[in-house]
Structure 1
Amino acid sequence: MRGLATLVGTLVIATLPAAATAQTPAKAAPAKPAPRVEAPAKSTAPGETPAPAMSRKAQTKEDRGQPVTVDADKMERFGKEGLVVFTGNVVARQNNSVQYADRMEVYLDERGDRILRTVSTGAVRIITRDCRTGTARRAEYHDLEQRVVLLGNARVWQEDNVVSGETITIFLSQDRSVVQGGRQERVKAVFYQKDDKQKDDKAKDGETTAAVRPAPATCEN
């Protein structure tokens, strides 16, 4: 079942904010760059269905060291509230991973140099550089708890492997993910295991294509 763990876990890379560079229309006010974040957390409530634990190795130094660039139709900064809001066709990119949303809110600490929380809403879609895709109505990142949450018809897939539920919660410091069903729909997970021959063939192909990483634009959605 490691496939499902990787499927859910790798999505974290695309949701974590780092030193962000905002690209918006000229009239938009500049926002302070958002710093990198690292990792801690805990929890499991009754009724939750635990998903296989994600691997922290998925968060490579290469990904964490890359800047995040945000494109949007509009950007607003509210200094007193420590809030930066991106609206309209929001696209956040990091090392060939992409997150799309209608709106993204970035909450900063009092000094404005640390991200406390991010909230993305409206047709949220995340595509990692190796073509894992996640969708939800809302995506949240909580720095203090080191927790990422996909809410509202959350779904993560790669090729034929799929896991879905009302919410998908990823606890970064615990190498753990929890998929929770809603009132009308239970958790669903489909994972196709590959036989040894398929693994060997894939390994051989990987020897010649290891250096080539598909950008999200090449992924089938």
Structure 2
Amino acid sequence: MENCEGPGQTLDVKSERMTFDRQTQTFLFQERVRVRRCDMTILCDRLRVFNDAAGQRVERLLFTGNVRMQQGARRVTADRAEYFDVEQKLVLTGNPKAWDTEEQNELTGEEIVVFLEEDKLFVKQAHVRFHPRQQAPESP
């Protein structure tokens, strides 16, 4: 089983089209982009992958257009998401929304920053909607 902690995890990217610029060490994936990393799946219209100067490791990912993320019960949508591998940080902008399918709580804001390794998030201009949990009926 793959170790999913820390930077440098395996990325599996699928799309209809891909171009590579050797000079800038960037990949551009377009149309029906699907990214898997451990237990996280991200779908979007376009993904730009920025490698280090030597082309040895991914430094940053830029997702644009109809971004949707799923990790366990967590869901996120946004117009734009930027992932920084070393910091294990995901920055969501453009109508970002996050929710948990189990707890049903919803979070929106101007910007949502998720620290994946620490399981923490920070939100600018936060709006949270708490839904009461449904309790099982008591037996007579």
TM-score by length of 1: 0.52
Deviations 1:4-60 (A, max 9, x none): xxxxxxxxxxxxxxxxxxxxxxxxxxxxxxxxxxxxxxxxxxxxxxxxxxxxxxxxx
1:50-95 deviation per Cα after TM superposition (whole angstroms, max 9, x unaligned): xxxxxxxxxxx65349743211011111111010110111011234
The number of aligned residues is 131
Work out whether 1:169 is the aligned partner of 2:113. yes
CA RMSD of aligned residues (A): 2.6
Q: Which amino acid in structure 1 is aligned with residue 55 of structure 2? A: G
In structure 2, the residue matched to 1:191 is: 130
One-letter amino acid of the structure 2 residue matched with residue 165 of structure 1: G
Query: Alpha carbons of 1:98 and 1:143: their partners in 2 closer, same or farther (altered >3 Å)?
Result: closer
The structural deviation recorded for 1:133 is: 1.0
Distance 1:67 1:174, change over 3 A: closer
1:1-221 superposed matches below 5 A? 62-64=3-5, 67-95=10-38, 97-128=40-71, 130-159=72-101, 160-172=104-116, 176-181=120-125, 187-192=126-131, 194=133
Unaligned runs of 5+ in 1: 1-60, 182-186, 199-221
3-state secondary structure, aligned to 2:94: strand
- Taking a change above 3 Å as real, the CA distance of residues 96 and 136 of structure 1, as seen in their structure-2 partners, is same
Q: Kindly indicate which of the two structures has a greater share of residues assigned to strand.
A: 2
Higher helix share: 1
Alignment correspondent of 1:218: none
Q: Which has the higher contact order (CA 8 A, sep 6+)?
A: 1
Cα deviations across residues 182-218 of structure 1 (Å, max 9, x unaligned)? Answer: xxxxx211234548x76xxxxxxxxxxxxxxxxxxxx
Q: Which structure 2 residue ranges, 5 or more long, are not aligned?
A: none
